[in-house]
A and B are shown apart, each in its own frame.
Chain A
Amino acid sequence: MVKIALRGLRAHTWRMVITFVAVAAGVAFIGGVLVLTDTMNRTFDDLFADVYRGTDAVVRSSETLDSDFGFELRGMVDESVLDQVRQADGLAAAEGSVDGFARVIDRDGEPVGNPATGAPTLGGTWVDVDELNPFDIVDGEAPRADGEIVLDRGTTESTDYELGDAVAVQTQVGVEEFELVGVARFGTADSPGGATYVLWGLDDAQRLMGEPGRFTSIGAVAEDGVSQDDLVASIAEQLDDGTTEVVSGAEITEETQSAIGEQLGFITIFFLVFALIAVFVGAFVIYNSFAIVVAQRTREMALLRAIGARRRQVRRAVVVEAAVVGLVGSAIGFVVGLGLAALLGAVLQLPEGALAILPSSVVVAIATGLIVTVISSLVPAWRASRVPPLAAMRDVAVDTSGRTPVRFLVGLGIVTLGVAAVLVGAFGSRPATVGIGVLAVFLGVLVASPGLARPVSRVLGAPLARLRGVTGTLARENAGRNPKRTSATAQALMIGVGLVTFMLVINTSIRASLDKALEEGFVGDFVVDSGTFGMIGLPSSVAEEIAELPEVAVSAPVRFAPAEVAGEEHGVTGTVEGAFEVLDLDMVDGRASLAPDEVVINEDVAEDTGLGVGDQVEIDFLDDARDERERTATVSGVYSTGPATDLGGYVVGVGVFQAALPTSTDFQVFVQLQDGVSVAEAEPALERIVDPLPSAEVQSVEEYKDEIGGQLDFLLRLIGGLLALAIGIAFLGIVNTISLSIIERTRELGLLRAVGMRRRQLRAAIRWESAIISLFGTLLGVAVGLLGGWGIVRALRDEGFEVFAVPLLWLVVISVIAGLLGLAAALIPAWRAGRMSVLEAIATE
């Protein structure tokens, strides 16, 4: 039987072409993601192994706090620690350094790179101890005096800066110009992973990225013959401060590598989700291919059964065929995936070198393709084994199976349960329940849709039949004649369209909610934004200068820092009293007073902790300036958060931040103008203040909305792009179904042509049939996507999703495009059908 399976496959190879493509596309995605992230992982592993190659021990603060951005914030160490380290036995050299963010500004005044969307823009210290310095000067010399910098070669090449040029650099203190005295290479790379790097002498580095007298960390090199562990032990003896710790070079390398690995792990999972969606959609295409090919070979199967093949043998023949398709398709897919990984690696400027192809990636990618293909073929295989031997002589008629009322009702029942779960979740603020509900609806549609295929094709085809006459009638009838096939084809499309619709609904609703919140909750006129997600914030001077403008009524800076509040890690906000006014936040108790020893809390915190006006709270900032390390504040007021305007749980005066965290900067400054001053009048004055900071932006409320919308759109586009493959596979599925159906209908098409159907009428009928299937899938997808989107938006109403908005225009556009793509999907099959010889078609068995 295996031989029969392989012969069958060989005879029908070209009918399986699209099936191969469907398998290969999904596997290529999976393989590409795995190989690319493995390669990135290895690249970063090598990178950090290089960075710490000469480092035997690192001394750093032992105080850490989780930031809200998923990485750890660590305190700084005092200069005096360096003296202690230098007392250690077995030490060859030790040096302190400061690292942070810095943004190079190019000759046109534009910042280079954007840490919010791309590789980081970093600053560091030029360390004179070679072992501790991963950079090598390739041109010029190291920075010797204040005001001198070295840049990485990647940056000098992209900006055309030359030695001796004055280079403007933005840091936490604002923008200053420096003289470029050297160009450095990072190991063998021009730039470490596409990041830009500015290197200063120690004094500049401390002033620009930390504070004088403090280091980010201290690197140490052991004498020859002294092991890392011995050095760590001898340094530890010297440290008298409980807030510092020492780790070996090997440990810090591993720690950094695993931190990056974890980040990459999230990225891998994110992309794998979309790869699996593509594979899942592919499964429908594979299922359909086998179902159709089995139907076409009914007589062959019947003959096999008649001459004594057992059911099991027939079943196995189909499964073996699937296994071969799965294996070959997956192998091709994996090779394509390697190409994709190499291509993306080049785009991401990974250093040249072989891709990291781990055996596990090969196994996972190919096994996924193989298993999905085999599973997808099980039902068709089972069906093939049920072919009675007598079917050898039966005519292929309209297959209306799958339309049993029981099946439809069961499906409808599941849909109903799903909708109920969505409703419960939506009104009960439980997004997870909504998710389960949507999944159930999807499954229910899966079960019920063969029953839907006919009526829906009828409805969709009704205008066609009226407008296009018999061509339309045939298209409509053909779309509905094999409900299982039509619905499986349409469902593949429904998945992709459903997800896109869901994303669109969420996006539109966020934007609408934001608009509403800003309209109702923001009485200010401008937002000055740091433009870097706060990585290089606005110096305190910006808000102060704005406040002094005669046009301005309120200038409210906002900065954040993690802290330990009443023994718990919690974010703390620094601002001014005017912020409550600009953001239109109402006090439920007390006053919005931010004297140095006062704190305002929001309702949620008040409820969670039981704190009230007059209570005392201890706030301990990480890396607090020493003398004011622990500060006790009295709750002066409790405010109620607006729908989208929230200053955070604990709000203190910006002066507290300046005292405790001298290096902190503002994330944004909210500006409200004096009565009678127009936005246009005030804008030039604001621009003058912000102008020196190239990454900062003065945004009117409208611009601010667009900015946030733009960030959402970026995400939407990314996800849309990742879903494109799944949708593409779904359309291939339509091409597949139509092509295979046409082969099945050869005689019928021949008859139509014989009795006078013109080629173009025939082609039109096939194209419209395809358009109906496509629209069917799209409408199902839009419906499920809308339901899910509504459920999630409603469930998250208290989290700021105040408005449920339907992207009507987009949904219409999607449906029209789906119809057009449906027409396009049938172009080649229709062309082939039109070219069929009438006589041969009539004579076909």
Chain B
Amino acid sequence: MAEPPAPDDAPAAIATAPPPAARAVGATKTYGWGDTAVVALNDVTVDIPAERYTAIMGPSGSGKSTLMHCMAGLDSLTAGQVYLGGQELGELSEDQLTLLRRDRVGFVFQTFNLVPTLTAIENITLPATLAGRKPDADWLDQVVTTTGLADRLSHRPSELSGGQQQRVAVARALANRPAIIFADEPTGNLDSRSGHEILDFMRRAVREMGQTIVMVTHDPVAAAFADEALFLVDGRIVDRMDGPTAERVLDRLKKFGD
């Protein structure tokens, strides 16, 4: 495993904080060739701090989803490197990437998060069972209790509401105690009350359970739950914001229109 090179502009203060959970260095992703080439990520270098809730914001087409997919090992870069917990993803084979996703990454997608043939609890423990492991019972208990799913565990996804389904998805992401959780517009398909529940729950997972979550969203209200917001425009990181609020985020987003 290659040690990630320290970013040139690394402030000394970071030395006392835990090492970043994920890091992109010069990450570039282009689609197509020649004149029709589209640059989705343009030389992005960024640290995702551990045990923090990071929101990636940006208008559609800004490359935020591509950045997330590349950092999660679902997609590969055209140039540059991505590190997850010190491991460079570019040098991993397809199967090693699969194992990495299984063991060290959690996912929450916008829709279609659950396997319809499996019950809630089977969905939650899916990564562990795929690995042939028994999930940690105490931890699982804690996750299930926190998500308030205790009485829904034997239900299939079709018997759950949208909000409940998303909670199961979050529980699955947490159940494995992954190094990092990627959430792609996790509240995009929910009403605002269910959405708040999920966002609040994810924030508690970071604060109380010490998880690391990266959330892609275009909703300023969702971003307000995060500890930090990154702003992407045209494949570049243009800004970072600590302790974002919906108003500040909205203001910031408005500027992109100019």
From B98, B118, B127, B172, residue with most partner A Cβ within 10 Å:
B98
Stretch at the interface among B2-10, B17-25, B102-110, B226-234: B102-110
| A839 located at the interface, meaning its Cβ lies under 8 Å from any Cβ of chain B in the complex | yes
CB of A184, distance to nearest CB on chain B (Å): 74
Is A397 touching B129 in the complex (CB atoms < 8 A)? no
Chain B residue nearest to A481 in the complex (CB): B117
Q: How far is the CA of A395 from the CA of B112 in the complex (A)?
A: 9
Chain A residue nearest to B122 in the complex (CB): A473
Is B117 touching A755 in the complex (CB atoms < 8 A)? no
Is A756 touching B103 in the complex (CB atoms < 8 A)? yes
* Residues in B109-129 with C-beta less than 8 Å from chain A: 109, 111-118, 122, 126-127, 129
Is A474 touching B117 in the complex (CB atoms < 8 A)? yes
| B257 located at the interface, meaning its Cβ lies under 8 Å from any Cβ of chain A in the complex | no
Select one of B95, B112, B129 contacting A469, CB under 8 A. Answer: B129
* Residues in A383-412 with C-beta less than 8 Å from chain B: 395, 397-398
Q: How far is the CA of A262 from the CA of B217 in the complex (A)?
A: 80
CB of B12, distance to nearest CB on chain A (Å): 37
Q: Total interface residues on A, using CB and 8 Å?
A: 25
CB of A400, distance to nearest CB on chain B (Å): 9
Given contacts A755-B126, A839-B75, contact A398 B113 (CB under 8 A): no
Is A753 touching B98 in the complex (CB atoms < 8 A)? yes
| A324 located at the interface, meaning its Cβ lies under 8 Å from any Cβ of chain B in the complex | no
From B107, B130, B131, residue with most partner A Cβ within 10 Å:
B130
CB of A753, distance to nearest CB on chain B (Å): 7
Is A470 touching B130 in the complex (CB atoms < 8 A)? yes
* Residues of B contacting A756 in the complex (Cβ-Cβ under 8 angstroms): 98-99, 101-103, 105, 127, 130-131
Select one of A397, A473, A838 contacting B116, CB under 8 A. Answer: A397
Q: How far is the CA of A473 from the CA of B129 in the complex (A)?
A: 10
* Residues of B contacting A470 in the complex (Cβ-Cβ under 8 angstroms): 122, 126, 129-130
Given contacts A477-B118, A481-B117, contact A757 B94 (CB under 8 A): no
* Residues in A276-318 with C-beta less than 8 Å from chain B: none
Q: How far is the CA of A747 from the CA of B103 in the complex (A)?
A: 21
Is A755 touching B107 in the complex (CB atoms < 8 A)? yes
Is A759 touching B98 in the complex (CB atoms < 8 A)? yes
Select one of B69, B99, B112, B115 contacting A474, CB under 8 A. Answer: B115
* Residues of A contacting B246 in the complex (Cβ-Cβ under 8 angstroms): none
Q: Mark B223-243, 1 if CB is under 8 A from A, else 0.
A: 000000000000000000000
Q: How far is the CA of A492 from the CA of B160 in the complex (A)?
A: 36
Chain B residue nearest to A760 in the complex (CB): B95
Is A752 touching B115 in the complex (CB atoms < 8 A)? yes
Q: Total interface residues on B, using CB and 8 Å?
A: 31
Chain A residue nearest to B100 in the complex (CB): A756
Given contacts A473-B122, A481-B116, A751-B112, contact A757 B158 (CB under 8 A): no
Q: Mark A440-470, 1 if CB is under 8 A from B, else 0.
A: 0000000000000000000000000000011
Q: How far is the CA of A147 from the CA of B66 in the complex (A)?
A: 97
CB of B174, distance to nearest CB on chain A (Å): 12
Q: How far is the CA of A754 from the CA of B103 in the complex (A)?
A: 11
Is B115 touching A754 in the complex (CB atoms < 8 A)? no
Is B94 touching A759 in the complex (CB atoms < 8 A)? yes
* Residues of A contacting B150 in the complex (Cβ-Cβ under 8 angstroms): none
Select one of B101, B103, B105, B112 contacting A748, CB under 8 A. Answer: B112
Given contacts A751-B109, A756-B127, contact A839 B98 (CB under 8 A): no
Q: How far is the CA of A398 from the CA of B158 in the complex (A)?
A: 8
Chain A residue nearest to B132 in the complex (CB): A469
* Residues of A contacting B126 in the complex (Cβ-Cβ under 8 angstroms): 470, 752, 755
| B156 located at the interface, meaning its Cβ lies under 8 Å from any Cβ of chain A in the complex | yes
Chain B residue nearest to A477 in the complex (CB): B117
| B38 located at the interface, meaning its Cβ lies under 8 Å from any Cβ of chain A in the complex | no
| B92 located at the interface, meaning its Cβ lies under 8 Å from any Cβ of chain A in the complex | no
Is B109 touching A757 in the complex (CB atoms < 8 A)? no
Q: How far is the CA of A747 from the CA of B99 in the complex (A)?
A: 19
Is A755 touching B130 in the complex (CB atoms < 8 A)? yes
CB of A638, distance to nearest CB on chain B (Å): 71
| B209 located at the interface, meaning its Cβ lies under 8 Å from any Cβ of chain A in the complex | no
Chain B residue nearest to A844 in the complex (CB): B112
* Residues of B contacting A474 in the complex (Cβ-Cβ under 8 angstroms): 115, 117-118
| A842 located at the interface, meaning its Cβ lies under 8 Å from any Cβ of chain B in the complex | yes
What secondary structure prevails in chain A residues at the interface with B? helix
| A478 located at the interface, meaning its Cβ lies under 8 Å from any Cβ of chain B in the complex | yes
Chain A residue nearest to B173 in the complex (CB): A755
* Residues of B contacting A839 in the complex (Cβ-Cβ under 8 angstroms): 69, 74-75
CB of B127, distance to nearest CB on chain A (Å): 5
Chain B residue nearest to A400 in the complex (CB): B158
* Residues of B contacting A477 in the complex (Cβ-Cβ under 8 angstroms): 117-118
| A12 located at the interface, meaning its Cβ lies under 8 Å from any Cβ of chain B in the complex | no
Q: How far is the CA of A355 from the CA of B249 in the complex (A)?
A: 81
Given contacts A470-B130, A748-B112, contact A755 B172 (CB under 8 A): yes
* Residues in B165-221 with C-beta less than 8 Å from chain A: 172
CB of B76, distance to nearest CB on chain A (Å): 10
* Residues of B contacting A751 in the complex (Cβ-Cβ under 8 angstroms): 109, 112-115
* Residues of B contacting A761 in the complex (Cβ-Cβ under 8 angstroms): 130
Q: How far is the CA of A609 from the CA of B213 in the complex (A)?
A: 98
Q: How far is the CA of A752 from the CA of B107 in the complex (A)?
A: 11
Is A748 touching B113 in the complex (CB atoms < 8 A)? no
| A758 located at the interface, meaning its Cβ lies under 8 Å from any Cβ of chain B in the complex | yes
CB of B117, distance to nearest CB on chain A (Å): 4
* Residues of B contacting A747 in the complex (Cβ-Cβ under 8 angstroms): 112
Select one of A398, A473, A754, A757 contacting B107, CB under 8 A. Answer: A754
Is A755 touching B127 in the complex (CB atoms < 8 A)? yes
Chain A residue nearest to B133 in the complex (CB): A469
Is B69 touching A478 in the complex (CB atoms < 8 A)? no
* Residues of A contacting B74 in the complex (Cβ-Cβ under 8 angstroms): 754, 838-839, 842
CB of B140, distance to nearest CB on chain A (Å): 16
* Residues of A contacting B156 in the complex (Cβ-Cβ under 8 angstroms): 398
* Residues of B contacting A838 in the complex (Cβ-Cβ under 8 angstroms): 74
Given contacts A398-B116, A748-B112, A748-B115, contact A757 B98 (CB under 8 A): yes
* Residues of B contacting A759 in the complex (Cβ-Cβ under 8 angstroms): 94-95, 98
* Residues of A contacting B115 in the complex (Cβ-Cβ under 8 angstroms): 474, 748, 751-752
* Residues of B contacting A752 in the complex (Cβ-Cβ under 8 angstroms): 115, 126
CB of B200, distance to nearest CB on chain A (Å): 23
Chain A residue nearest to B113 in the complex (CB): A751
Q: Mark A723-758, 1 if CB is under 8 A from B, else 0.
A: 000000000000000000000000110011111111
Q: How far is the CA of A755 from the CA of B173 in the complex (A)?
A: 9
Q: How far is the CA of A615 from the CA of B27 in the complex (A)?
A: 112
Q: How far is the CA of A747 from the CA of B101 in the complex (A)?
A: 17
Is B99 touching A397 in the complex (CB atoms < 8 A)? no
Select one of A398, A481, A748, A757 contacting B130, CB under 8 A. Answer: A757
Q: Mark A471-501, 1 if CB is under 8 A from B, else 0.
A: 0011001100100000000000000000000
Chain A residue nearest to B123 in the complex (CB): A755
Q: How far is the CA of A397 from the CA of B156 in the complex (A)?
A: 11
Q: How far is the CA of A755 from the CA of B115 in the complex (A)?
A: 11
CB of A701, distance to nearest CB on chain B (Å): 59
Is A755 touching B118 in the complex (CB atoms < 8 A)? no
* Residues of A contacting B95 in the complex (Cβ-Cβ under 8 angstroms): 758-759
CB of A227, distance to nearest CB on chain B (Å): 83
Given contacts A398-B116, A470-B130, A477-B118, contact A755 B94 (CB under 8 A): no
Is A755 touching B102 in the complex (CB atoms < 8 A)? yes
Is A758 touching B99 in the complex (CB atoms < 8 A)? yes
Q: List 22 A-B contacts (CB under 8 A).
A: A398-B156, A398-B158, A469-B130, A470-B126, A474-B115, A477-B117, A481-B116, A748-B115, A751-B115, A752-B115, A754-B107, A755-B102, A755-B107, A755-B172, A756-B99, A756-B131, A758-B99, A759-B94, A759-B98, A838-B74, A839-B74, A842-B109
Instruction: Given A473-B129, A477-B117, A757-B130, output 15 extra A-B contacts at Cβ < 8 Å.
Output: A395-B112, A397-B158, A469-B132, A470-B122, A481-B116, A751-B115, A754-B74, A754-B109, A755-B102, A755-B126, A755-B130, A756-B130, A756-B131, A757-B102, A842-B112
Q: Which 9 A-B pairs have the closest CB atoms?
A: A756-B102, A477-B117, A470-B129, A756-B101, A756-B127, A397-B158, A758-B98, A747-B112, A398-B116
